[in-house]
Each structure stands twice: as structure tokens, then as C-alpha cells.
Structure 1
């Protein structure tokens, strides 16, 4: 194995723009349980399901219809 490698002529990673960012988020237990149950049904990891749902909301520019009781 070489001590150093030259990557100056290497191809760019076509998936580099799709790299996910790690974040910390606090979720209600009910919401998390929902996605975990859905994950068991579908065989898709719950974090991927949450990401897919949020991505769908962002792509469709869905907005939360929230009214606070006063």
C-alpha cells in the first residue's frame, strides 16, 4: 500500500449533492412510534421514512395549517 495517493485527476462523486446532514431533533413519542410502526410494515428504516415525508412536504411546498386557541 502506498503512503500517499494522488486524487487530483479523480472523477467527482455524482452523489455528493445527495449527502445527508446529521441533525438532532426532538419528536413526540406518538410521532416516533407512528413512523417506527410504519417502518416495520414497509421494511423501510423509520429515519428514512421521516426524511421521505419531510422531503415530500418540502417539494410540494406543503404548509402546516395551525391555529392556536386563545
Structure 2
């Protein structure tokens, strides 16, 4: 297989790393007190999907929001 050589003007090795200035606006860190069985449930789903359990919880809450799901209090 032939290796392609990058043109010198496209050399990304010379670029400086810099943080995304909008990253802090994308998500906010919060602390929630959740029961062990709830955490275990989301951890199991996370393993199945190959994600972190925090991502699975976030996706679930986003789905609830987008579906305008009403909360049922028992």
C-alpha cells in the first residue's frame, strides 16, 4: 500500500493545542444523590452500550425532555 505524504502546508504537528472555549457551555457538572439500584441499572445499560453510566443517564434525561415526558409521582 502506498503511503500518502502530507504537504508541508498541511502539517498539523505545528499547530498549538488549545481548549475548546465553548466546552464549558455544553455541560454542567452536578451532584445527584441516587439509590444504589438506580446506579446499578444505568451502569448495566452503560456496559451494554459501551458508554459511561453518566452518559446513559444524560441521554435518558434528554429523551425525557425531548418527549415532554410527564413525571408520575407514586
Alignment TM-score, normalising by the size of structure 1 = 0.66
User: What is aligned with 1:66?
Assistant: 73
Q: Secondary structure at the match of 1:44?
A: coil
| Uncovered stretches (5+) of structure 2, i.e. residues with no partner | 1-20
Q: Is 1:29 equivalent to 2:42 in the alignment?
A: no
Alpha-carbon separation, structure 2, partners of 1:18 and 1:59: 19
- Where does structure 1 differ by over 3 angstroms across 4 or more consecutive aligned residues? 15-18
- Residues 15-54 of structure 1: matches in 2 within 5 Å? 19-54=26-61
Q: Per-residue deviation at 1:16? A: 5.4
Q: Larger radius of gyration, structure 1 or 2?
A: 2
Alpha-carbon separation, structure 1, partners of 2:52 and 2:73: 29
Cα 1:23–1:55, aligned 2, differ >3 Å: closer, same or farther? same
Alignment TM-score, normalising by the size of structure 2 = 0.63
The total of aligned residue pairs comes to 55
RMSD: 2.1
